[in-house]
Structures are given as C-alpha cells and as structure tokens.
Chains A and B, each alone.
Chain A
Amino acid sequence: MTEAKKIRVLAAKPGLDGHDRGIKVICAALRDAGMEVVYTGLRQTPEQIVAAAVQEDVDVIAMSCLSGAHSYLFPRVMEILKDKQIADILVLGGGIIPDEDLPALKANGIAEIFRPGTDTNDIVKFIQDHVRRN
C-alpha cells in the first residue's frame, strides 16, 4: 500500500564548488528511475542541507563535491544529522575523492561514495537496495 510513495532524494552541493554537471545528470537519472528529486543548487552550508532534508522529508541525501572540501563538508552534515537524531536518511557522497579518504567518510556514516565513471544505474540500484524506509 505504501508502494505508491516514491523515494525522495535531496541532491545537494555543499561548499563553494560550482561543478554541477554530475549532480544534475544524477538528478535526471534518479527521476527517470521514478524517484522524486529536490536539488538545492550551489553553495549550500551543511546546516542548510540538513534543514532542506528535514523540510522536504527526504529518504536520501546525495551530496556532490569536486573541490576537495569533502573531508570537512560531508562529515559535518553527518554531525548535524546526529545532533538532530536523524538516523533514517541514507547519505551518499560523490566527487573527486581519493582512496585514502574513503574509510574516514564511511566511518562517519556516509553509506557510499560514487566517483568519476560511475554508471547512474548503479546509483539507482544502491538507493533502492539501501533506502531506510518503513
């Protein structure tokens, strides 16, 4: 009966990075896969992203950062979510993210990191398999 409810995703650009080709392509792919996608636009603070996620009642936050600031920005979003005791949102990251940064990001609770060359179908599948919904 809840089948009609679509997965809701907040696509977000934290920080000052202006590379939005990737996130916009992902928005289009997720929509084509039947999800509802809200895109924040550029230059969002971690606080704004969490606030938008709450307001839009999303199941997933998908963040993209290609400026190298991910190590500060992604964990900061997780910290705010934790402060607000929000545990049911699946958080994903993407961008130019070196191998050695992956363990720390995942330890922070980022479910998966998608890097250059990822097939958007893999992202769709990951979300469908891991979304935390009742």
Chain B
Amino acid sequence: MAHDGRPGGDDNLEAAAPRLPSVCLVLPRALLSLFPDASREVELSAATVGEAIAALDQRWPGMRDRLCDATPRIRRHINVVVDGQRARIDTALKDGDRVHVLTAISGG
C-alpha cells in the first residue's frame, strides 16, 4: 500500500488529523437571555473564531445569526476579543485562548 509520506496511513487518518485548539468562549449576558440553555463560558475546539461560532451554532441553533451576518462577518456591534485584540471571523485560535464575545456600545 503506497503512502503519501505522512505519519500513519489510510487506516489511521483520524489520528493524523491536526488536533483543534481547545478554547473557552465567554458569552455576553444579553446573548444568554436569547438562548436560555446556553452557558456563560463554553469550552470547545476550533481553529478560528468563525469555527468557534459555528460550534456554538451546533449546540444552540440560531446563535451564529445573532453574532454574524451573511457577509459573512462578525456583526458591527459585536466585539470578539482574543488576546486583547479585536478579532475577525478568520482570526486563528490557539490552545488555551479565552475568547470574549462582547456587546459593543450601541443604541439610544
């Protein structure tokens, strides 16, 4: 059986796939009131902010629409902060990141 040079083989692909970073998302309380079953802090595995939000949507259907528009991008008045920096939907995540999802100043 020929191999492509990577460790493992066809019968061991799962083990060969890169492990996704484990991160913790901290959700805003205003979002929790829309999804009463959701928790304030959510542990999940995701390589980017977009993947993390997709994972949230898997657990609580509709949550992605509340955080992102169809452009697709993070909604204008939602701030996602990783390592103290405002993140975008394609911002990469690394093991141990705490991802703060915040409601920005808005309204009147």
Q: Is B a genuine binding partner of A?
A: no
List B residues at the A interface (Cβ < 8 Å).
none
List A residues at the B interface (Cβ < 8 Å).
none
